[in-house]
Amino acid sequence: MKIIKLLTKSAICFAVSTGFISFSANAQKAVNLTDPEIASIAVTANQIDIDYAKIAEQKSHDQAVINFAQTMAKDHQSVIDQAVALVTKLGVTPKDNATSKSLKAGEAKTIKMLKSKSGKAFDKAYINNEVGYHKAVIKEVETALIPDAKNAELKSLLQNVLPVLKSHLSHAEMVQKEVNK
Amino acid sequence: MKNKIPELGIKVLLLFPILFLFSCHSSDQQNAQSSRRTDTVVIQQMQFVPASITVQKGDSIVWINKDMVDHTVKEEKNGFYSDTIHVGKTWKIAATENANYVCTIHPTMKGKIVIK
């Protein structure tokens, strides 16, 4: 049990340190984000997890991993649809920024890493990344996106996204325990 | 003519208790039906609210999906299954027995039906 926890922590530390999970641009909180920047980060972060899920749906043979990936693809698409509907209504145009660029750079590295693996090694890499990614996104939403959001409806949407992300994290940790047995 | 009056009286006397019993039975049925309630479980923030609902046998339970994502309601022992309850949609059943249920899309979401 301790070994699994240690391996999980190591995997997350590795992913964060190598830039696979990267919110470094905003981690220092030098400047407050604007609503167009928040919209861009929200859409990008959700799209990245859909991209990971599509790879898992193609490569994994583990039903629990496939089910989890299908849930990620559907849920994050649902969040994107609602976020896009809201920003369209508000007349907010998502604006690329250091955080969204950093997220995309991290995604490129992660996709390369995931594509290099297969079988059980892929399942472990995918689900470990999902645990770390959701932890990082939750932290970013709690400490940067929600506090910085100016528009009340955008802030409310982000507050509603948070339980979805936390549920995904619990689900990922549940699958992780099985995959790492 | 003279014989017909007592005959009519006997018929009325016989019919009265039957009609009386029938009306009571019908009234009981109406009371039972009208006393059946519809209780609500709201799905929001990735939770069934309330997580445990207590109802009378035969009462209806309606699940309302007020969340950002789709959900399901499935009895753990392969009993009732809602199929996908899309965002903003509802699903209803008549409760017949105690049940533990889950969302099959999000297995950390659990709920319970308790029959009084």
pTM of the model: 0.81
- Residue B25, pLDDT > 80, answer no
The predicted pLDDT at position B16 comes to: 54
Q: How far is B72 from chain A (nearest CA, A)?
A: 12
CA distance A79 to A48: 13
| Assigned token pair, A25 | 């641009």
Q: Are B81 and B74 in contact (CB under 8 A)?
A: yes
Tell me the pLDDT tens digit for each residue of B30-42: 555 557 899 999 9
The predicted pLDDT at position A68 comes to: 98
CA distance B98 to B112: 8
- pLDDT, averaged across chain B: 84
CA distance B59 to A68: 34
User: Could you tell me if B46 lies within 8 Å of chain A, comparing CB atoms?
Assistant: yes
- pLDDT, averaged across chain A: 89
The predicted pLDDT at position B46 comes to: 98
- Residue A39, pLDDT > 90, answer yes
Q: Do B107 and A164 touch (CB under 8 A)?
A: no
Tell me the pLDDT tens digit for each residue of A120-172: 999 999 999 999 999 999 999 999 999 999 999 999 999 999 999 999 999 99
User: Could you tell me if B109 lies within 8 Å of chain A, comparing CB atoms?
Assistant: yes
User: Could you tell me if B14 lies within 8 Å of chain A, comparing CB atoms?
Assistant: no
The predicted pLDDT at position A22 comes to: 61
Tell me the pLDDT tens digit for each residue of B58-92: 999 999 999 999 999 999 987 999 999 999 999 99
% of chain A at pLDDT higher than 90 = 82
* C-alpha distance across the termini of chain A, in Å: 9
User: Could you tell me if A63 lies within 8 Å of chain B, comparing CB atoms?
Assistant: no
- Residue A99, pLDDT > 80, answer yes
Tell me the pLDDT tens digit for each residue of B88-112: 999 999 999 999 999 999 999 999 9
User: Could you tell me if B70 lies within 8 Å of chain A, comparing CB atoms?
Assistant: yes
Question: What average pLDDT does range A89-105 have in this prediction?
Answer: 96
Q: Do B108 and A71 touch (CB under 8 A)?
A: no
Q: Do A167 and B109 touch (CB under 8 A)?
A: yes
Under the banding of pLDDT at 50, 70 and 90, the label for residue B1 is very low
- Residue A12, pLDDT > 60, answer no
Under the banding of pLDDT at 50, 70 and 90, the label for residue A14 is very low
Give me the torsion for CA of A38, A44, A49, A51, rounded to 10°: 170
Considering only the beta carbons, identify the residue of B45, B69, B106 that sits closest to A78.
B69
